[in-house]
Amino acid sequence: MENAQPLDTLLNQEFLVTNGIGGYASSSVSFANTRRYHGLLVAAANPPTQRNVLVHKMEERIRIGDEYNDLSTNIFETIVHPHGYQYLMDFERSPIATWTYGTDDWMMTKELMMVNDSNTTIVVYKNTGTTDIELELHPLFTYRDYHSLLRKNDRYDFYYAPLENGLKIHPYPDCPAIYCTYSKGEFTEDRSWYKNFQYNRAAYRGLDSVEDSYRIGFVFHKLKAGSTIHIVFSDDDSKLKTKPATVRKQIMKNYEDKDATTDNNEFLRDLLISGDQFLVTRASTKSKSIIAGYHWFTDWGRDTMIAMRGLTISTGRKKDSESILKTFFKYLDQGMLPNRFPDHGEEVEYNTIDATLWLFIVMYEYYQKFEDKKFIKKYMKDLESVIKFHLEGTRYNIHVNEMGFLQGGEDGYQLTWMDAKVNDYVVTPRIGSPVEIIVLWYNALKIFASLSDKVDYKASIDIKTQIKLIKKNFKNAFLNDEGYLNDYIDLEGNPNKDFRSNQIYAVSLPFSLLSKKEEKKIVEQVKKNLLTKYGLRTLNQEHDAFVGIYQGDQWSRDTAYHQGTVWPFIMGEYIEAFLKVNEYSKKAKQKAGKLLKPLKKHFYQKDCLHGISEIFDGKEPGEGRGCINQAWSVATIIKLCMDHPDIDIS
């Protein structure tokens, strides 16, 4: 039996299994690693950050009589070896990542699971055929930061101490231990470096792309028809006796619970399960946070605020919403939320002008969903402090000017979501008053006033005057003669007329500064100039600075990041705006369903299976770029489905 899919297809399809604390297992569906971020166990040493690749992959062999069948596939610098993909009959991502291998003579399944809240991967092999087989499992180890690569060197000696059916491994002196145990079989020491793995996805991104990893030995077991063997990898010896059945039961319960709550809407159910992957526990606060994207993002303020609207608020996860908000309120400083929590314990970064403003949107939607006045009132003083700091001035020259507009920015810093920076070069600095910042600031003021009324909070600042000032000046400054919104007003009051996706927020957010006629024209022009099947371009194609392909080294990629690249998460804002200007009609919702179908196909068939990519090329969006599964990409569709259950994406 030959697999119907060619190797290129299997290399371009990836899987992701996560553990709720930032760790994961991920590779291509063929199990040939194509990124430095791939690994059978990538552990978060300081959840959800400080991630290290501990187990590179597993080489697997089946023997029947004198014939070996290698199940693994590797891309080396000059060859593909072995060709195990030819035995791959099927792969299912949901509810459990499961591979089926076989020929006319034998058949076997492999399940991969992670223990929740633990850096522990379990792989289960089952002989599902009628013939007894001999199975060899050759785990390949490493121990390195997931941004780096390992090459053969004298420091790594992979010393191990034997355990009962297992090993306690120290890859180099004073290195934390990797534990490996197996339920059955015999271990044979057989040391060897596996050299020159080639990572084509890393090469495409202009990164170093060749790595070595190490085999200490292999496990051998005669696997009778119908029987199983499992192997556990962990950084925690207390998890080594975890039963696969226990983990499987937890996964199935979550799957069945999601199925029941989505009224058999398969796509929404799978979106919710995918969305769970981003919800993590932060060790430093012992509360929930949101990973912005896998593989390489940590928890970012802006991404968390935007993504939680779909991941936890629209889905009714009150406790998780409160836990996330508590995490970020704890780090509120000078009226600002963190831009990101660094990966290696450096100082928290506050270089963002919009993350804090999204906090008001989140609190507003939280109240709409849960009507919890006590929780809102608890943080009203914090929200008021945010407004005061922005009125009076805070970091990066962020302050309100005489027009009532929030403005900010300094040379060398990127403060809006268009945050690409290469060394000291900021690609889209937008110093001054960006359009979405003004819209968010206006919404923040309106929301603060509304929530103050709801919870009977007496503010000491004059919100109404600020609201009137923005309303008085907004259209003259931003609405140009062509009927769309300028991208930003610089510090001298000059408009930048770049046609960008950011203007859609002026229509999609709760409180508008525009007339219905003006909103409708903006939606029409955004459709004409920016809409693609996967989201909105960040810049129209006719602009001289438009870059159609996202590829190459960091300079090439980052200078393309917001210069036309397509972002799926803004599709949700566009559809919300489209529904609004069409009065949420049945016809408009039918159109919305059609707009989402390409992303549904992408979710199930391309790139990260059961995930949505961070970005796509601007010229001809097809293959996913950036992170393989991005929180706000998934969350935006969840929010649309939850807020408008009559949108049909079947």
- pLDDT tens digit string along 78-120? 899 999 999 999 999 999 999 999 999 999 999 999 999 999 9
Contacts of 494 (CB under 8 A, 6+ apart): none
User: Quick one: tokens of 507?
Assistant: 């229509």
4 pLDDT above the threshold of 60:
no
* Strand ranges inside 509-554, DSSP E: 536-537
Q: What is the pLDDT of residue 421?
A: 81
Rounded average pLDDT over 432-447: 98
Q: How confident is the model at residue 205 (pLDDT cuts 50, 70, 90)?
A: confident
Give the end-to-end CA distance of the chain in Å, rounded to a whole number.
32
User: Torsion angle, CA of 212/217/222/224, rounded to 10 degrees?
Assistant: -40
User: Torsion angle, CA of 201/205/206/212, rounded to 10 degrees?
Assistant: -30
Contacts of 467 (CB under 8 A, 6+ apart): 442, 445, 446, 449
Q: What is the pLDDT of residue 424?
A: 81
Distances (CA, A) of 211 to 33, 57, 215: 10, 12, 14
Which one, of 403, 431, 394, 400, lies nearest residue 416 by Cα? 431
Q: What is the pLDDT of residues 504-515, one digit of tens each?
A: 999 999 999 999
Q: What is the pLDDT of residues 349-368, one digit of tens each?
A: 899 999 999 999 999 999 99
Q: What is the pLDDT of residues 327-347, one digit of tens each?
A: 899 999 999 999 987 666 668
Rounded average pLDDT over 474-502: 97
Q: How confident is the model at residue 483 (pLDDT cuts 50, 70, 90)?
A: very high
**Residue 591: how many CB atoms within 10 A of its CB?**
16
Q: What is the pLDDT of residue 340?
A: 82
Whether pTM > 0.85 for this model: the answer is: yes
627 pLDDT above the threshold of 70:
yes
Quote the CA–CA distance of 20 and 608 in Å, as a whole number. 18
Q: How confident is the model at residue 1 (pLDDT cuts 50, 70, 90)?
A: very low
Alpha-helical (H) ranges within 456-483 are 463-478
Q: What is the pLDDT of residues 138-193, one digit of tens each?
A: 999 999 999 999 999 999 999 999 999 999 999 999 999 999 999 999 999 999 99
Rg (CA), the chain: 26
Q: What is the pLDDT of residue 412?
A: 85
Q: What is the pLDDT of residues 544-586, one digit of tens each?
A: 999 999 998 888 998 999 999 999 999 999 999 999 999 999 9
Type of residue numbered 294: Y
User: Quick one: tokens of 294?
Assistant: 């896998």
Q: How confident is the model at residue 425 (pLDDT cuts 50, 70, 90)?
A: confident
3 pLDDT above the threshold of 60:
no
Quote the CA–CA distance of 249 and 260 in Å, as a whole number. 16
Across the chain, what does the average pLDDT equal? 95
Rounded average pLDDT over 283-309: 94
User: Quick one: tokens of 645?
Assistant: 């259950």
> DSSP of 267-318, one letter per residue?
HHHHHHHHHHTTEEEETTTTEEEE--EETT---BHHHHHHHHIIIIITTT-H
Are 322 and 328 in contact, with CB atoms under 8 Å apart?
Answer: no
What are residue 194's DSSP bridge partners?
A: 213
Q: What is the pLDDT of residue 168?
A: 98
Q: How confident is the model at residue 285 (pLDDT cuts 50, 70, 90)?
A: confident
Please give the domain boundaries of the chain with CATH numbers for all domains.
7-252 (2.70.98), 262-643 (1.50.10.10)
Distances (CA, A) of 17 to 84, 95, 171, 268, 596: 22, 11, 24, 18, 25
Quote the CA–CA distance of 63 and 238 in Å, as a whole number. 33
Among residues of the chain, what percentage have pLDDT more than 90? 90
